[in-house]
Amino acid sequence: MTTPSHVPVLLDRVVALLQPALDHEGAVLVDATLGLGGHSEAVLTRCALARVVGFDRDPEALRLAGERLEPFGERFVGVHATYDRIPEALADLGLAHADGVLFDLGVSSMQFDAPGRGFSFQRDEPLDMRMDRSQGETAADFIAHATEVELADTIFRYGEERFSRRIARALVETRRETPVTGTAQLAAIVRRSIPRRGYTRIDPATRTFQALRIWVNRELDGLDRFLEVAVSRLRAGARFAIITFHSLEDRIVKHTLRGLERREALIRVLTKKPLTPDENEVQRNPRARSAKLRVAERMA
C-alpha cells in the first residue's frame, strides 16, 4: 500500500536542533506523536547512531509509519499508545532515559485527508473525529447527548469561538428534529449561526471543528503534567522539541517550559521566541502556516 503524502512541518530546523543530543552511540529519540513518521525518518537518516521509539494512538498511522521506517530495521520501534503512557512503555522496553523527545501536536495530514475520519468539512462524511477509532465517543455522540451549556463551553474553551452560544443553541434546536451526524451538516449549522462580516481567511466552521476534535481526543488533558514527566526522563544535555498548531496548545507549552526553567532550573529554553515556517514552507505546505516550534535542553 502506498503511504499517503505527508509533509513534515519545520523538518530541517527540528532535526538540526535535536541532532546535537542524538549524535552518539545508543542515543534514543522518543517521537511522542509519530504520525506518518516524517520527522523520525529524517532523524534516523541524519543521526546514524540514534534509535527512535515512536508512539501514536492511531493504529493506521502507526502501521503506515512502520512501513515507511522499515528500512531502518531495529533502530525504530513503534508503540500503540497515547503520550501519557510513554513512561510505562519506555520502562517495558528497558529504557530509563531518552536523549530527545519530539511532540508534533494536532492532527496529521493523513487524518485530515483520509475519507471517513470526519476531521474536515471539505467533504461530507460521518462526524467521527477519533484519532483511535477503536475506543471513545465520536463527535456525533457528544453533540447528541451534551447539554446546550456543555456544547457552548466546549466550543468556546477549545475553539475560542465567540459565537459559541449561538452555535450550541442551533445544534440543540437541530437535533430535536434530526440527529447531527455529518460534517457537511455540522458545518452548515455553524455557518448559519455566525453573523457574516465580509471576507474571512478561515471558514467560520473551523473553530468549532477544532473544539470538537480536541474534546473527542482529549488532546489537552494533562499535557502540562506530561511535559514535566517527559523532561524528568531526559538525560543531562538531552533536548525536547514541541510543535504546536493553535494558541491553546502553545500557551500550555510556553508556560510549562517557562516554569521548568525559572522555578526548578531543570531546563534551558533554546527558543526564546517560537520558530515558525518561512514563506517558502507555507507555500509548499499551507497547513504549516500556524505551526510554532519550541525547543529546550535538559540541564544536569
Residue 3 lies in a domain: no
As a whole number, mean pLDDT of residues 9-28 equals 95
Q: Please determine, for residue 145, whether its predicted confidence score (pLDDT) is greater than 60.
A: yes
The two beta strands, 292-298 and 234-244, are antiparallel
Q: Examine the domain organization and report whether 88 and 16 are in the same domain.
A: yes
Q: Examine the domain organization and report whether 232 and 213 are in the same domain.
A: no
Q: Examine the domain organization and report whether 151 and 209 are in the same domain.
A: yes
Residue 247 lies in a domain: yes
Distance, in Å, from the CA atom of 106 to the CA atom of 29, rounded to the nearest integer, reads 20
Task: Please choose, from the candidates 269, 235, 231, the residue with its C-alpha nearest in 3D space to the C-alpha of residue 27.
Answer: 235
- Pick the range with the lowest mean pLDDT from 120-124, 156-160, 180-184, 205-209: 120-124
**E-state strands within 57-183:** 76-80, 98-104
Q: Examine the domain organization and report whether 72 and 23 are in the same domain.
A: yes
Neighbours of 37 (CB within 10 A): 29
Q: Please determine, for residue 264, whether its predicted confidence score (pLDDT) is greater than 50.
A: yes
Q: What is the average pLDDT score of the chain? A: 91
Q: Examine the domain organization and report whether 82 and 137 are in the same domain.
A: no
As a whole number, mean pLDDT of residues 177-183 equals 97
As a whole number, mean pLDDT of residues 187-202 equals 87
pLDDT (0 to 100) of residue 109: 66
pLDDT (0 to 100) of residue 131: 87
pLDDT (0 to 100) of residue 98: 94
Q: Please determine, for residue 1, whether its predicted confidence score (pLDDT) is greater than 50.
A: no
Does residue 6 contact residue 110 with C-beta atoms inside 8 Å?
A: yes
DSSP codes, 105-134: -S--HHHHHSTTS---SSS--B----SSTT
Count of structural domains within the chain: 2
Does residue 44 contact residue 52 with C-beta atoms inside 8 Å?
A: yes
Beta bridge partners of 250: none
The region, left, alpha or beta by phi > 0 then psi within -120 to 50, assigned to residue 198 is left
Q: Please determine, for residue 90, whether its predicted confidence score (pLDDT) is greater than 80.
A: yes
For residue 65, CA distances in Å to 31, 62, 111, 189 come to: 12, 5, 13, 36
Structural domain that includes position 157: 117-217
Q: Please determine, for residue 110, whether its predicted confidence score (pLDDT) is greater than 80.
A: no
Q: Please determine, for residue 11, whether its predicted confidence score (pLDDT) is greater than 60.
A: yes
**What's the DSSP call for residue 3?**
P
CATH number, domain containing residue 233: 3.40.50.150
As a whole number, mean pLDDT of residues 161-182 equals 97
Q: Could you tell me the pLDDT band of residue 200, with boundaries at 50, 70 and 90? A: confident
Higher confidence at residue 78 or residue 221?
78
Q: Please determine, for residue 105, whether its predicted confidence score (pLDDT) is greater than 60.
A: yes
As a whole number, mean pLDDT of residues 123-144 equals 93
Domain boundary among 217, 247, 278: 217
Q: HSE, CB side, 13 Å, CA atoms: give it for residue 29.
A: 36
Higher confidence at residue 21 or residue 58?
21
pLDDT (0 to 100) of residue 94: 92
Residue 90 lies in a domain: yes
Q: Please determine, for residue 128, whether its predicted confidence score (pLDDT) is greater than 60.
A: yes
Distance, in Å, from the CA atom of 275 to the CA atom of 17, rounded to the nearest integer, reads 11
Q: Examine the domain organization and report whether 128 and 81 are in the same domain.
A: no
Q: What cell does 205 get?
A: 466552521
As a whole number, mean pLDDT of residues 174-192 equals 97
Q: Could you tell me the pLDDT band of residue 160, with boundaries at 50, 70 and 90? A: very high
Residue 111 lies in a domain: no
Higher confidence at residue 123 or residue 275?
275
pLDDT (0 to 100) of residue 117: 86
Q: Examine the domain organization and report whether 126 and 205 are in the same domain.
A: yes
Domain boundary among 217, 245, 277: 217
pLDDT (0 to 100) of residue 3: 47
Residue 2 lies in a domain: no
Residue 5 lies in a domain: no
Domain boundary among 193, 217, 241: 217
pLDDT (0 to 100) of residue 111: 67
pLDDT (0 to 100) of residue 236: 93
Distance, in Å, from the CA atom of 204 to the CA atom of 140, rounded to the nearest integer, reads 19
Task: Please choose, from the candidates 69, 49, 93, 21, the residue with its C-alpha nearest in 3D space to the C-alpha of residue 270.
Answer: 21
